[in-house]
Structure 1
Amino acid sequence: MNQDILFNHFDLSGDLTLSNRIVMAPMNRSMADDDLVPTDAMADYYARRADTGLIITESLMISPSAQGYPNTPAIFTPAQVAGWEKVVRKVHAKGGKIFAQIWHTGRVSHPIYLNGEKPLAPSAVALKGRVPRTDDLQYAVPREMTEAEIRQMIQDFAQAAANAREAGFDGVEVHAANGYLLDQFLHWDTNRRTDDWGGSAENMARILFEVLGAVKLEIPHVGLRVSPVGYLHLEHDDRDKAVSDYVLQRLNHYGLTYVHTGMFEDSEQEHLAGTVTQYIRSLYQGTVIACGGYDAERGREALHKGDADLIAIGRPLIANPDFVEKVRTRQPLTTYSAEMLNELV
């Protein structure tokens, strides 16, 4: 065992051992080509960070209807799968492990990305505000998904997992956080359905568990990102905590590879009497990845306290491709700046 807990090996599963406990957090950069295929520059970007214990990619769209931002990569066409195969090959050549995060933005989209069609969502409730990376477009009222569309969405997640397996990924992370489609089903503000997909914790969580079941049939290692009681792209409702309680407790029976905190700042929450990661840990008994504003020192503290098993690092890894080596050798880190988002260093 290493004296520094960050650099201890970790058995993520029986056949997947990580070289350290540092995870590269998923960070969308909107740098795919116009066919939503990852570029050679993206492959080099990920490969330079292969010494992290695990890389989780930026979010990969599962279908054309999943897009909510320009030039975000996808994994539903042969060309996209081939592009990700190049990324995976480069990461593996350097001894790294890499999971694909798969997602659908739901109502966090606009007809400009969807050939004029309305975004899909659990209910026809618009997100207030301006669409990022546009001049002044406002979010549109989405269209409530039909039963057939929900079933197709579940299959789209499963096919994305199968495509990730074909590309050589070590596993997938299902994105059910941050107010995107699956998370929209888990909150009362965005899920106002009265059928089998809404109206109770069990019904609201139904799509999540059906997605997990379908994805697990396609690839052995499946992680999940959730932001219980998180409110990015959502309005608060006190009833949401009961839904989160139900989801986290039921996840104990799904044999997931891990559960990953989907917070930009994993700070103390008064109504939880702790951080969101601590809340997840209190109900979920499997491997937990903490994420949300962590640096090396705060990560060590969380690991020593037992709040999490792995620590996901975001912006510091954008600024420091050699983050792992710098932390290991106690070298000063380059400070992150917003301008770095437009570069693949």
Structure 2
Amino acid sequence: MTDLDALRRMLFRPFDHGALHLANRVVMAPMTRWMSPDNVPGPDVAAYYRRRAENGVGLIITEGTFVAHPGAGDSDRIPNFHGEAALAGWKAVVDGVHEAGGAIMPQLWHVGLVAQPKEGEARGTLTPHQVGPSGLAGGLGIRPYPDGRPMTGADMEAVAAGFVESALAAQRLGFDGVELHGAHGYIFDQFFWDETNRREDGYGGPLANRARFAAEVIRAIKQATGPGFPLVLRISQWKQHDYRARLATTPAMLEELLLPLVDAGVDLFHCSQRRFWEPEFEGSPMNLAGWAKAITGRPSIAVGSIGLEVDFLSTMLSPQASRPGHLDELAGMMERGDFDLAAVGRALLVDPAWARKIERGEIDALIPYTPEALGTLS
């Protein structure tokens, strides 16, 4: 039986760090919905996010949004974070969340070379703007994505400018900060990962060098928005096309990667694992978020099957519902101080009132997750 008192004590405390002030420690994890036609979030998207804020989520991190660069995205159903129409849609989103008492950040995203073909295009179709550090997509030797061309200095400047433009737009619209997607094999992670970064200049080789491009973008955003505008960086070891991948096999390697990013201005690390309860390195019970906090001194967000029995892949392969699970582990790890915030994905997708039900102790009322929830915007 779940220790509800411990869980509520850990999750429903205020969180304050710099300019970020949250009513509690529950975060809505970013989840791509493919429900923004022509890359514009509509009133249904605004209502979707507002429902989570009305039901007690402390911080919402939106689905990934494409930054202002022509190679950033690969779908016309995923929202942009640039352009008049898309930004008008996002203004309605942020206003609705704030009216409901929540906080919200957009996740700024560039897919790099793991772009899917758009509707009507053959697999392997790349535009001249779709680039990666070394032109390599990576992944298990069975490459589901086409390789492209290595980035030039001009490419890096253009991508960085796109992130800065979108971050400034978020600040102008009244968002509470921004998150950069640096995980799961996307553009920054392509620099971090030695399989996709074979550069022989100052952006390749040692982990500190592989962190350089992300650090330059972070620093440019901080200079443009001012140091008080919160910036979160999402990181992961695994990639969407290679679950076995690892950026760091020791804490020392993780430190080499993270410290340049802290120096550049990261305020919080959002650490993605498939199963948050699993230790990251031998000899310690801490997960990736725990290690990121211990190494950098920055607060961290844990994410990865929080609130459910099984991980994402398992739920996609099985028609059976995933019931609530691992809540005692969540409370215990937070009580130990491993990480500061808990990002809930699929459990919040299927049940907008997840946070409110946990706060009230209504565990039996939680809605089990099934893959059919992906097709709704409830």
Partner of 1:225: 234
CA distance in 1 between counterparts of 2:160 and 2:127 reads: 20
- Alpha carbons of 1:70 and 1:138: their partners in 2 closer, same or farther (altered >3 Å)? farther
Partner of 1:262: 272
Paired AA for residue 222 in structure 1: L
CA distance in 2 between counterparts of 1:179 and 1:112 reads: 19
Give the drift of 1:32. Answer: 0.8
1:277 aligns with 2:289: yes
1:248 aligns with 2:258: yes
Look up the SS of the partner of 1:290 in the other structure. strand
- Alpha carbons of 1:154 and 1:272: their partners in 2 closer, same or farther (altered >3 Å)? farther
Aligned-residue Cα RMSD (Å) equals 2.5
TM-score between both structures, scaled by the size of structure 2: 0.82
Look up the SS of the partner of 2:37 in the other structure. coil
> Structure 2, unaligned stretches of length 5 or more?
1-5, 308-326
CA distance in 1 between counterparts of 2:249 and 2:328 reads: 32
CA distance in 2 between counterparts of 1:256 and 1:116 reads: 32
Work out whether residues 205 and 243 of structure 1, in 8 Å CA contact, stay in contact via their aligned partners in 2.
Answer: no
Partner of 1:125: 136
1:286 aligns with 2:301: no
Give the drift of 1:272. Answer: 7.1
CA distance in 2 between counterparts of 1:239 and 1:169 reads: 32
Paired AA for residue 289 in structure 2: T
CA distance in 2 between counterparts of 1:344 and 1:277 reads: 29
- Alpha carbons of 1:128 and 1:260: their partners in 2 closer, same or farther (altered >3 Å)? closer
C-alpha deviations, 1:160-206, integer Å up to 9, x for none? Answer: 10111122211101111111110110011000111221122232111
Look up the SS of the partner of 2:45 in the other structure. helix
CA distance in 2 between counterparts of 1:317 and 1:21 reads: 14
Alignment map for 1:168-179 (pairs within 5 Å): 168-179=174-185
- Alpha carbons of 1:334 and 1:207: their partners in 2 closer, same or farther (altered >3 Å)? same
In the alignment of these two chains, the number of paired residues is 335
| Equivalent of residue 57 in structure 2, options 41, 52, 55 | 52
TM-score between both structures, scaled by the size of structure 1: 0.89
Partner of 1:40: 43
C-alpha deviations, 1:93-150, integer Å up to 9, x for none? Answer: 1111001110111111145379851531111223459xxxxxxx95222221111101
Work out whether residues 72 and 109 of structure 2, in 8 Å CA contact, stay in contact via their aligned partners in 1.
Answer: yes
Alignment map for 1:199-238 (pairs within 5 Å): 199-219=205-225, 220-227=229-236, 229-234=237-242, 236=245
1:12 aligns with 2:17: yes
CA distance in 2 between counterparts of 1:93 and 1:186 reads: 38
Look up the SS of the partner of 2:161 in the other structure. helix
| Equivalent of residue 30 in structure 2, options 15, 23, 26 | 26
Look up the SS of the partner of 2:233 in the other structure. strand
Paired AA for residue 232 in structure 1: Q
- Alpha carbons of 1:240 and 1:305: their partners in 2 closer, same or farther (altered >3 Å)? closer
| Equivalent of residue 61 in structure 1, options 62, 66, 90 | 66
| Equivalent of residue 348 in structure 2, options 297, 317, 325 | 317
> Structure 1, unaligned stretches of length 5 or more?
130-136
- Alpha carbons of 1:239 and 1:165: their partners in 2 closer, same or farther (altered >3 Å)? closer
CA distance in 1 between counterparts of 2:137 and 2:82 reads: 27
- Alpha carbons of 1:204 and 1:240: their partners in 2 closer, same or farther (altered >3 Å)? farther
